[in-house]
Amino acid sequence: MGVKLDFWKQRLGSVPEFVWATGDVETLVLADNDLAEVPDRFGDLKGLRMLDLGHNRLTTVPDSMGDLDGLTDFLYLHDNGLTSLPASLGNLTRLKYFNVSDNPLEEFPNCVCGMSSLVELRLCDNRLTSLPESIVRLSRLRELHLRNNLLTSLPAAIGGLCELRLLDLRGNPLSELPEGVRGLPKLEKLDLRWVSTLKLPPWTAELEARGCLVYC
C-alpha cells in the first residue's frame, strides 16, 4: 500500500523536506498550514492519488502539478487566493474530483476542461461571470457546483453534459437558463435557491414531472 502523509492544520508554513524523500506517497494532506507557496518539486510525486492544499494562502500553484498523472482521486485547492490556474493542470486526465471553491477566480480556468475524467467539480464562492462552451468536454461530470458566483447565464453547451445529476446554481444573478438544461437526461437536482433575478422557465415543470428536484 502507498504512504499517506497527513499534516492537516499543523501551521507548518512550508512543505516539510522529508516529503520529497518519502517513497510511494499516495495521499498528501497539507490543508490549513499557512502555506503561501508550494515548491515546483510536486511534479516528482508521481505516485500521488490525492492531494489536499485547501485552506492555505496560495496565490499560485506550480506548473509541475500537471505532471501528476497518477492523480486520480481528489485535488483540493479550495479556500486560497488563486486568481488563475496553470494550463498544465489540463493534463490531469484521470482526476475524478476537483475542488477550487473559495478563491478569487474571475475567469473559468480553461485547464479544467481538459480534466476529462471529472465526476465532480466544485467552483463555489468565486467571481465567475461566465462558463466556456468547452465545458461540454467534461462528458463524465455528474455534479457541477457553482454556488455564489456572478453568472448571469450558462452556455448552450451545458446541455451536452449527459451524465450530469446535480447542477447547483444557488446565489447567482441568472437572467435565463439555456434550453439545454431541459434535456439533461440524468438530472436529479437543479438548485436555484437565492436566485432572485430569474423567471423560472415553464419547462422546469417537465423536469419535476420526470423526478428531478427543482429548488427555487
Q: For 199-210, what is each residue's pLDDT tens digit?
A: 999 999 999 999
Q: Assign domain 3-215 to its CATH superfamily.
A: Ribonuclease Inhibitor (3.80.10.10)
For the entire predicted model, the pTM comes to 0.97
pLDDT reading at 89 higher than 90: yes
pLDDT reading at 1 higher than 90: no
Q: Which amino acid is at 104?
A: P
- Name the residue ranges covered by the structural domains of the chain: 3-215
Mean pLDDT (whole number) for 69-93: 97
**CA-CA-CA-CA dihedral for 116, 97, 37, 23, to nearest 10:** -90
Mean pLDDT (whole number) for 134-161: 98
What value does the mean pLDDT of the chain take?
96
Q: How far apart are CA 117 and CA 114, in angstroms?
A: 9
Q: How many Cα atoms occupy the beta-carbon half-sphere of 53 within 13 Å?
A: 25
DSSP secondary structure string, 30-87?
Answer: --SS--S---GGGGG-TT-SEEE--SS--S---GGGGG-TT--SEEE--SS--S---G
At residue 60, the pLDDT reads 97
At residue 86, the pLDDT reads 97
pLDDT reading at 122 higher than 80: yes
**Confidence band for 23, pLDDT divided at 50, 70 and 90:** confident
**Confidence band for 96, pLDDT divided at 50, 70 and 90:** very high
18: part of which helix (H) or strand (E)? Answer: helix 18-21
The Cβ of residue 57 has, within 10 Å, a number of other Cβ atoms equal to 13
**Confidence band for 43, pLDDT divided at 50, 70 and 90:** confident
pLDDT reading at 21 higher than 90: no
Cell numbers for 158: 451545458
Ramachandran bin of 152, using left for φ above 0, alpha for ψ from -120 to 50, beta for the remaining angles: alpha
Coil/strand/helix, residue 29: strand
Q: How far apart are CA 2 and CA 62, in angstroms?
A: 24
Mean pLDDT (whole number) for 146-153: 98
pLDDT tens per residue across span 48-78: 999 999 999 999 999 999 999 999 999 999 9
